[in-house]
Amino acid sequence: MLAGAVLQLCTREYFGFFLPLKMSRAERSFDGKVALITGGTSGIGRGTVLLLSKLGCNVAFGGRNKAELDNVAAKCKETREDAQILPVQGDLEKEEDVKALLDAAIKHFGKLDILVNNAGIVGKGTIENTSLEDFDKVMNINMRAVFYLTSLAVPYLTETKGCVVNVSSVTGLRSFPGVLAYCMSKAAVDQLTRCAALVRFRAGTEANPCKLSQFLERCKETHALGRHGEVDEVMSHAERSFDGKVALITGGTSGIGRGTVLFLSKLGCNVAFGGRNKAELDNVAAKCKETRKDAQILPVQGDLEKEKDVKALLYATIKHFGKLDILVNNAGIAVKGTIKNTSLEDFDKVMNINVRAVFYLTSLAVPYLTETKGCVVNVSSLTGLRSFLERCKETHALGRHGEVDEVVSVIAFLASNDSSFMTGATLPVDGGRHAMCPHEGPRAVKFLSRI
């Protein structure tokens, strides 16, 4: 069985593995093993094909250009005359080609020991100028194909106690300018590696002195906002003024979204919010009016899986209120499943609502937020499943799950002037979960409670 998760740094690239916990010398040998490598005609992929073949692997590898595929196959034969090589032409954007790549490897070699998800493309662009088409292309190749191919390969890798190697990038760990979609895709691959490895594991398988004046000048280059902070940006304002500001909130009919709509409206915001159920939309709007009679509320019905509904939500807000100061991307769904049993349809549904809609709505909102010097708050959280909530008593340092009000107040802070010297920040409102070791339960809670 597959087990564990290891990250190995290697220049600007790094690799996520999930592998057997213990391997004999025979198992460490590549003789007779079968490897499948995507993006095998250039760069790291080509080098991996040549090296594994030289070490005794039977190698299947994919690429789009037949001449380049044949060239790499010929190079393998030059290095090792008896090399068993299978070049497979295809496009990882196409589901049928992803499936055909694996099927060809299994049909030809009869098994699979190693899967190397290497293929990837870079799409230049920021949140302001990355088109939805460019976003989809990068995500489909760099992330969706990795998920789909890995999920299809799991049964074969389980039989051989094989491993998966996901080739990621430093851009998945740190934000880089001008390659938004690429950064997102690599961060997603990193999380896939961690989550898949976790499931397989459970299944068995000194400071330097610096002059203040020099530091403040240097901040113009090193800080995303291009300046140093001011004292009053660190000290809390006596009052957070939301009067006249316009907020747009997705998923505003329940949970954190509903709480945010009610709270920002109470603070003086004009609020537009989205949801799929008209009765629930009307109910939240009525609650806002009960709390503040002159509340300006705009409920908008729609489905964030649909591009036209995402656009309609923003344009309805602009048409009604004339501007936008705050965007809260809150809507999200949870679908249970592991790398073994999550269907591509379920995967797409989750990614379309939780990721694609967030990107698209934010990109559409940027011109309006630029005019008002507004802000975006992205709500990223664990799901409210009953078993998860019960488990929080053991896994969270505070010994309980969070309440809606505890998250809503943080959203209000991020949307207010109090956070004027914050950008690109992640605030863990998680009961101390982020400070604990991944697999520690009650013992960690008891230890932390003594601090």
Range among 133-147, 171-185, 188-202 rated most confident:
133-147
As a whole number, mean pLDDT of residues 157-166 equals: 87
Please report, in angstroms and rounded to a whole number, the separation of the first and last CA atoms in the chain: 39
Answer with the residue of higher pLDDT: 31 or 15: 31
Answer with the residue of higher pLDDT: 422 or 369: 369
Tens-digit pLDDT profile for residues 89-104: 999 999 999 999 999 9
User: Cα dist. 311→276, 332, 358, 362 in Å?
Assistant: 15, 17, 12, 10
Between CA 331 and CA 88 the distance in angstroms is: 40
Position 393 pLDDT exceeds 60 = yes
Q: Supply the pLDDT for residue 51.
A: 87
Tens-digit pLDDT profile for residues 271-327: 999 999 999 999 999 999 998 899 999 999 999 999 999 999 999 999 999 999 999
As a whole number, mean pLDDT of residues 428-432 equals: 64
Tens-digit pLDDT profile for residues 31-44: 889 999 999 998 88
Position 3 pLDDT exceeds 90 = no
Between CA 119 and CA 281 the distance in angstroms is: 43
Contact by Cβ (8 Å): 158, 2? yes
Q: What is the overall mean pLDDT for the chain?
A: 78
Query: Which own/partner contact pairs does 68-72 have at CB distance under 8 Å and 24+ positions apart?
Result: 68/41, 68/42, 69/40, 69/41, 71/41, 72/40, 72/41, 72/46
Position 1 pLDDT exceeds 60 = no
Confidence of residue 404 (pLDDT cuts 50, 70, 90): low
User: Cα dist. 120→95, 134, 169, 371 in Å?
Assistant: 16, 13, 10, 35
Burial class of residue 371 in the structure, from the number of CB atoms within 10 Å of its CB (0-12 exposed, 13-18 middle, 19+ buried) = exposed
Q: Supply the pLDDT for residue 252.
A: 94
Answer with the residue of higher pLDDT: 141 or 442: 141
Between CA 194 and CA 72 the distance in angstroms is: 31
Lowest mean per-residue pLDDT among 67-71, 262-266, 298-302, 387-391? 387-391
As a whole number, mean pLDDT of residues 68-79 equals: 94
* Those residues with Cβ within 8 angstroms of residue 221's Cβ, 6 or more apart along the chain or in another chain: none
Query: Where do we find the tokens 């997705």?
Result: 250
Q: Supply the pLDDT for residue 151.
A: 93
Between CA 226 and CA 422 the distance in angstroms is: 12
Contact by Cβ (8 Å): 328, 365? no
Q: Which two tokens stand for residue 336?
A: 């249970």
Tens-digit pLDDT profile for residues 180-204: 898 889 888 888 887 887 655 333 3
Tens-digit pLDDT profile for residues 203-218: 333 333 444 455 456 6
Range among 17-21, 179-183, 224-228, 232-236 rated most confident:
179-183
Report angle CA 106, 341, 59 to the nearest 5 degrees. Answer: 20
Catalytic residues: 182
Q: Supply the pLDDT for residue 380.
A: 77
Position 230 pLDDT exceeds 90 = no
Q: Supply the pLDDT for residue 279.
A: 96
Between CA 174 and CA 190 the distance in angstroms is: 12
Position 229 pLDDT exceeds 90 = no
Between CA 215 and CA 210 the distance in angstroms is: 7
Q: Supply the pLDDT for residue 198.
A: 64
Tens-digit pLDDT profile for residues 370-388: 999 999 988 875 544 445 5
Q: Supply the pLDDT for residue 215.
A: 46
Q: Angle, nearest 10°, between helix axes 145-160 and 180-202?
A: 20
Q: What percent of the chain has pLDDT over 90?
A: 45
Q: Supply the pLDDT for residue 399.
A: 64
User: Cα dist. 279→19, 254, 283, 291, 435 in Å?
Assistant: 50, 12, 6, 19, 40
User: Cα dist. 429→235, 264, 426, 434 in Å?
Assistant: 20, 19, 9, 9
Position 246 pLDDT exceeds 90 = yes
Q: What count of other Cβ atoms lies within 10 Å of the Cβ of residue 166?
A: 23
Q: Supply the pLDDT for residue 190.
A: 84
Query: Where do we find the tokens 């979960």?
Result: 433
Q: Supply the pLDDT for residue 256.
A: 86
Confidence of residue 449 (pLDDT cuts 50, 70, 90): very low
Position 358 pLDDT exceeds 60 = yes
